[in-house]
Structure 1
Amino acid sequence: MTGLPDPTTTSLLTTRRTAVGLILGAPLLGACSGAQQSLSNQFGQQPPPPEAAQQAQSVGSGRVKVGLVLPLSAPGNAGVAAQSMKNAAEMALAEFNNPDVQLLIKDDAGNPQGAQTATQQALDEGAEIILGPLFAQSVPAAAQLTRSRGISMIAFSTDSSVAGRGVYLLSFLPESDVNRIIGYASSVGKRSYAALLPDNAYGGVVEAAFKQVVGTKGGRIAAFEKYGADRAGAARTIAQALTGADSLLLADDGDSLASVADALTAAGADLRRLQLLGTGLWDNPRVFATPALQGGLYAAPDPSGFRNFSGRYRSRYGQDPVRTATLAYDAVALVAALSKTQGNRRFSSEVLTNPSGFAGIDGLFRFRADGSNERGLAVMRVATGGAQAVAGSPKSFGA
């Protein structure tokens, strides 16, 4: 990763080739990539009102105008998350040293029609890039407008199907979790894998990534099952096929994961013989309190930084941030740094897809040409009362 300046300093570091790397303000933040599922579970798809209640606002006085599209007036948890992300975006701008950016903050009310209206307004006001929307169903509606103008979008959706053709996702994608945890397991000698996954959209993404990376690493899949409401039935089926496996991937969170572990134990599976593997959804107190999951490994951003970010956020706003607030912070810090160093090419695909990546609050990340992202993740071990780091997050990306 090529280093760019810490936003709190004025010195600029030399870039390698045309690539740029970022150190985005303040201490780096780790995160629970469990946000990838909690978004869909907690926020849900909001019913579209007749028209988005636009809460127009601009922050900053820089020359580079940046649209920030969030569901500020959406009901429930969606609106709460949007306000926290808005706060984090403003905090990033405040903590960056002399940003040449003006944020055009628009409310999309959490629906596609609102996202299109909000994006149109930001573009009409001169936005050179759009940050947001948050929801997958809103991204294509907004992207119709950005693509027609050749404008890049950095969205916060966790659905990789909406990425590409100028839309980049700055979110926590399960593919990165699976690649990291299987890669680590392979590096310590695991070769024969089993997986028991939920039969839903998240499970489908994990399945595809699991099968691909196991093949890439030269492993074999000894057993594979998916479950719906009948976890016990799936647990009985896979328990009979675990003899040849040395590792078992489980990709669920909280009470659901604990129930799966209990079902496997009841079905006669000797989980102590297997190395249990998981995704960032495991970063959950319920998981840490489940005896059958002790010693399991999962991939997640290094947790050291989020505490620092949360402390600064609390000092500024008097409350805790939502987990996805760091996405907005990183997005704003990224565009501020690119605006300062990359001239007229600042938001081009060549700059955004820099293979060296960027370092943000949640650690290293880089955008792929298809609009998805790759994150540099740590490997954590489940222990009573919390998680312990087994392998740190990488300091740079490989080729």
Structure 2
Amino acid sequence: MFAIPSTIRKPFRLLILPLFAMMLSACDPAAFAGLGGGSGPKIDPNAPVPVALLIPRGGSASDNLLAKNLENAARLAISDLDGVKIDLRVYGTAGKAGTAATAASQAVADGAKIILGPVYGEAANAAGVAVAEAGVNVLSFSNNTTIAGGNVFVLGPTFDNTANRLVSYAKRNGKDKIVVLHANNIGGQLGRNAIQQAIAANGATLSGSVDYALSQQAVTAAIPKVKAMMSNTGANALFLTANSSTALPLLSQMLPSAGVTNAKSQYIGLTRWDVPAQTLGLDGIQGGWFALPDPGATAAFSARYNAAYGSKPLDIAGLAFDGVAAVASLVKSRKGNALTTTALTQGAGFRGAGGIFRLLPDGTNQRGLAVATIRSKQVVLLEAAPQAFGGAGF
């Protein structure tokens, strides 16, 4: 395994474990794909709309903390609605797929017109299957795109969205010959696929890819391969899938030592390089590019949450706020079909805790992201997050 600097290791583990859990492999969504279609239960626009919130309450200590953050954020969104009435009903899943399926079924039996959550991919998949025949849509807090489709949407940030934003920016700024460096596990392979698809979609050039196993020895062995590929292909950018809990600290030391530096080969990161804050101190990634949610929107949400609850929210809490914001925006139209799949995927999108976002017909999402770099161990914005779909970055 990796020798991760102690200044990064402990605080980052607390943040990243829930995110890894969201990437749990799920059942094949093909079994229920299409059942959602353009469907969705009719609502009475003149009465409070029953909305179910499925959270991992009743699970581990970290699950319960996560559950509390999600519920707090959802209620924060409800407290600021303009003439829209939502009847929020909260159900615990204990972070388990079977419990989530039972809770989803009970929520629909109780009258829920839409479901927000659950968090983990396997649980979200199970909840979607459980209510598919009823035509109820599920806006899960997962980022696992393999469960998306039919009546299940993922609200979590996706590799596809991040890769497309960064490759688009790179192409417009002359960094159009890209080598991909990724772990050979599921997460690394999904990241590689997203980057390769973004390269093709934006007219850039895939100069090659190098993979490595999750060990210090394997990462060390990959370094000369990266150097040779960058040199032989004339590549001018290196896209990394690693984060601070895996290979990024080691790569940030070894790549520059081998002569593969930001000055010659622009580093681009698929993950947030500002989380945790200690990551900003890695010398090798100074000058690297990464994407992040709209800083102004996230700061405003964090301030409101802190004022209401006396603590800063976990990053994922914003997804519950987003779910309520989307539902409220649609219900405000006063139409009986406000929560159908067609309505949910309207192109204008919504404004949430991290800026603008919209749900796509395939069950994934698109979010307005900013592009940033690291200078003197500080985050510096290179391109602001778009404020409407169709602007820069889209």
TM-score by length of 2: 0.84
Aligned counterparts of 1:237 and 1:268: Cα–Cα separation in 2: 12
The amino acid of 1:186's aligned partner reads K
- Provide Cα deviations, 1:95-120, integer angstroms capped at 9, x if missing partner: 22333210110001100111011111
Structure 2: runs of 5 or more not aligned: 1-12, 25-45
SS at match of 2:95: coil
SS at match of 1:203: helix
1:266 equivalent in alignment to 2:251: no
- Provide Cα deviations, 1:61-84, integer angstroms capped at 9, x if missing partner: 952101110101110322211111
Aligned counterparts of 2:351 and 2:111: Cα–Cα separation in 1: 28
Contact 1:163 1:372 in 2 (8 A): yes
- Provide Cα deviations, 1:298-354, integer angstroms capped at 9, x if missing partner: 111121222222222122111221111110011112212212214111111111111
SS at match of 1:309: helix
The amino acid of 1:294's aligned partner reads Q
Aligned counterparts of 1:79 and 1:260: Cα–Cα separation in 2: 34
Offset of residue 191 of structure 1: 2.0
Among candidates 236, 240, 260, match of residue 250 of structure 1? 240
1:136 equivalent in alignment to 2:121: yes
The amino acid of 2:353's aligned partner reads I
Offset of residue 359 of structure 1: 1.8
Aligned counterparts of 1:371 and 1:320: Cα–Cα separation in 2: 29
Give the equivalent residue in structure 2 for 1:123: 108
The amino acid of 1:231's aligned partner reads V
Aligned counterparts of 2:352 and 2:261: Cα–Cα separation in 1: 40
Give the equivalent residue in structure 1 for 2:367: 375
Aligned counterparts of 1:344 and 1:35: Cα–Cα separation in 2: 42
Contact 1:377 1:392 in 2 (8 A): yes
**Structure 1 residues 127, 321: CA separation in 2 closer, same or farther (over 3 Å shift)?**
same
Contact 1:43 1:77 in 2 (8 A): no
Give the equivalent residue in structure 2 for 1:224: 209
Contact 1:37 1:202 in 2 (8 A): no
Among candidates 41, 47, 50, match of residue 20 of structure 2? 41
**Structure 1 residues 331, 35: CA separation in 2 closer, same or farther (over 3 Å shift)?**
farther
Among candidates 144, 154, 176, match of residue 169 of structure 1? 154
Contact 2:125 2:152 in 1 (8 A): no
SS at match of 2:52: strand
Written as runs of structure 1 = structure 2, the 5 A alignment for 1:42-61 is none
Offset of residue 280 of structure 1: 3.7
Among candidates 228, 244, 247, match of residue 240 of structure 1? 228
1:275 equivalent in alignment to 2:254: no
The amino acid of 2:94's aligned partner reads A
Written as runs of structure 1 = structure 2, the 5 A alignment for 1:1-399 is 38-41=17-20, 63-228=48-213, 229=215, 230-243=218-231, 244-254=234-244, 256-284=247-275, 285-398=277-390
TM-score by length of 1: 0.83
The amino acid of 1:112's aligned partner reads A
Aligned counterparts of 2:14 and 2:352: Cα–Cα separation in 1: 17
Offset of residue 193 of structure 1: 0.6
Structure 1: runs of 5 or more not aligned: 1-33, 46-60
Contact 1:232 1:264 in 2 (8 A): no
The percentage of aligned residue pairs carrying the same residue is 29
**Structure 1 residues 268, 353: CA separation in 2 closer, same or farther (over 3 Å shift)?**
same
Farther-moved stretch of structure 1 (83-92 vs 330-339) = 330-339
SS at match of 2:287: coil
**Structure 1 residues 36, 162: CA separation in 2 closer, same or farther (over 3 Å shift)?**
farther
The amino acid of 1:239's aligned partner reads K
Offset of residue 369 of structure 1: 0.8
Offset of residue 43 of structure 1: 7.8
Contact 2:139 2:153 in 1 (8 A): yes
Q: How many residues align?
A: 351
SS at match of 1:388: strand
Farther-moved stretch of structure 1 (151-160 vs 354-363) = 354-363
Offset of residue 272 of structure 1: 2.1
Aligned counterparts of 2:324 and 2:254: Cα–Cα separation in 1: 44
Farther-moved stretch of structure 1 (250-259 vs 192-201) = 250-259
**Structure 1 residues 266, 42: CA separation in 2 closer, same or farther (over 3 Å shift)?**
farther
SS at match of 1:84: helix
The amino acid of 1:198's aligned partner reads A
Contact 2:100 2:127 in 1 (8 A): yes
Aligned counterparts of 1:144 and 1:137: Cα–Cα separation in 2: 11
Offset of residue 227 of structure 1: 1.4
- Provide Cα deviations, 1:172-219, integer angstroms capped at 9, x if missing partner: 111111000000000112221111112222212221121112122222
Offset of residue 286 of structure 1: 3.1
**Structure 1 residues 96, 203: CA separation in 2 closer, same or farther (over 3 Å shift)?**
same
The amino acid of 1:236's aligned partner reads P
Offset of residue 42 of structure 1: 6.5
